[in-house]
Amino acid sequence: MMVGTIVAINALLGTLVVEVDDQTCVVLESPGHLTMEMGDQVDGDWKSEDRLTVKNITRNEEFLADIQLITKNRSEAIGSMSLL
């Protein structure tokens, strides 16, 4: 598990970008309603190939998500949110 920070959210598409400590950005797609905000701290297994459970540490909540993209480029990650 690795803690990251939410740096972008597209609530209409159910996608978000999490940036982890090594500056890697992970684009997640969640089938549920997103109730988080940018800056929230989240924890998850960002290398998982299956649907993963992400814990929102800031709000003490959990949600399911699928990894759509992992990249070192934050702009690429945020830009990909509209293409999912």
Per-residue CA distances from 40 to 4, 31, 37, 84 (Å): 8, 19, 6, 22
pLDDT of residue 18: 97
pLDDT of residue 51: 92
Domain boundaries, the chain: 2-80
pLDDT of residue 66: 95
pLDDT of residue 33: 80
Nearest to 56 by CA among 32, 22, 80, 81: 32
Give the pLDDT of the chain (84 residues) as one tens digit per residue: 799 999 999 988 899 999 998 899 999 999 878 889 999 999 999 988 889 999 999 999 999 999 999 999 999 999 998 765
d(CA 77, CA 71) in angstroms, rounded, equals 7
Radius of gyration of the chain (CA): 11
